Structure 1
């Protein structure tokens, strides 16, 4: 069991700098919803997509038009968009004290079986940025389709400092 009460000694913002990661601009909704809703110390993110400035960076199904590695990169980009939305909402990623849940939804061909490898694109980014003390549980699901013909959608629930 991991203690989620305090943020790690090296903050997420500094880790991003150390890794040379530049986040994309915060995403904007494609419909009638908001990107982030905070209830108490929990921050719920809407499904994040692999888009930059509302432009899809990957299209198609993993195991069909896209290879597993492309799906992994799409999951990483969707997670980067999630981090950008978190920063936009909170002002700093350093306010994140825990990653409660990661959901990765993957548009796949029916016989695709490498879902965990694709989802690791998001999981490993979060691990690098927040550290091993914030490694989360996750759900990974294959889907027939996702919004806009995109291959991956990432959902996050975070605990944040007040």
Structure 2
């Protein structure tokens, strides 16, 4: 497996400060060797959220970039919880939600932004099962929200 921090640097990316939960939930929960991450949205390093409805306000290319940014936020949460992204044995599953107009039908192309980032950073451990679905709205009007499940190694958190 490639060193995820070296891969991030090669891609010109830096981990971000994870967002504070906006409601009554925790950012992650561990059950055995599985780490469940709560849904994250496309928040940049300055804390700005990418908002808009895909198919009306945002095209597929920009939505793909938003999903990639969301993936970076997920990796940032995993790093904060685990202390080392190298503890990720496998990305088990992603649930990608796209804030889209009713007739938008290319949700997988949007969520590929996150999937591609995980493979780029984690190598084979980044490959995963996935659902990519459309939503009528998402919190704060964000364009995408993605949650993740990772298999992890090492002692309890």
TM-score range, shorter chain: over 0.9
Distance 1:57 1:47 in 2: 14
Inter-CA distance 53–20: structure 2 relative to 1 (3 Å threshold)? closer
Aligned to 2:77: 85
Q: How many residues align?
A: 154
2:59 aligns to what? 67
Measure, in 2, the Cα distance between the counterparts of 1:22 and 1:124: 16
Pick the aligned partner of 2:101 from 68, 93, 109: 109
C-alpha RMSD over aligned residues: 1.5
Q: Which residue of 1 aligns with 2:39?
A: 47
Report whether the alignment pairs 1:150 with 2:142.
Answer: yes
**Could you tell me how far apart the structure 1 residues matched to 2:52 and 2:145 are?**
12
> 94, 97, 112: which is aligned to 2:89?
97
Separation in 2, partners of 1:21, 1:52: 11
Distance 1:52 1:32, change over 3 A: farther
| Structure 1 residue 39 displacement after superposition | 1.2
Contact 1:127/1:134 (CA < 8 Å) preserved in 2?
yes
Q: Is the 8 A contact 2:111 2:132 kept in 1?
A: yes
What runs of 5+ residues in structure 1 fail to find an aligned partner? Answer: 1-7
Normalised by the length of structure 1, the TM-score is: 0.89
Bigger shift: 48-57 or 28-37? Answer: 48-57
* SS of residue matched to 1:132: helix
Give TM-score scaled by structure 2 length. Answer: 0.92
After superposing on structure 2, the runs of 4+ consecutive aligned residues of structure 1 that deviate more than 2 Å are 17-20, 52-57
- The gaps in structure 2 that reach 5 residues or longer are none
- Kept after mapping to 2: 8 A contact 1:27/1:53: no
